[in-house]
Amino acid sequence: MSEIVSVLHASLLVADVARARAFYEGVLGLAPSPDRPVMGFDGVWYDIGGAQIHLLGLPNPDPVKGRPEHGGRDRHTALGVKGWEALRARIVAAGLTHTLSQSGRRALFVRDPDGNALELVSLD
């Protein structure tokens, strides 16, 4: 018998790693992991609890245009947030478009500079 017991990482394609880092580090407040091995392409890893987000500096085969405005209607990565109101204020201050969860939960959806949707869920 087998059982899937955890999510280890989510990989997101980004066209410009420096621009993506400005969002993930400057707006979201993540710190890069020093454990990323040398690979044949640019990128960065972020440790989040027992999992990671991997930003891969590779061409994206999927169209970015035409995706739903509300990230909850698109593929997305959900992240638990302590201090949700403060993060929401940083997103607003950065002038980033976002939508609130349509379920009534304290959650919002925002897209990174490459159109990847993130769901930020309050753990407060």
- pLDDT tens for residues 27-75? 999 999 999 999 999 999 999 999 999 999 999 988 888 899 999 999 9
Question: What is the tally of structural domains in the chain?
Answer: 1
Range of the domain at 78: 9-59+66-122
Q: Which CA distances in Å does 71 have to 17, 101, 108?
A: 21, 9, 9
- Smallest CA-to-CA distance from 28 within 123, 124, 119 is with 119
Residue 3 lies in a domain: no
Residue 105 lies in a domain: yes
Asked if residue 4 has pLDDT above 90, the reply is no
Residue 2 lies in a domain: no
Residue 1 lies in a domain: no
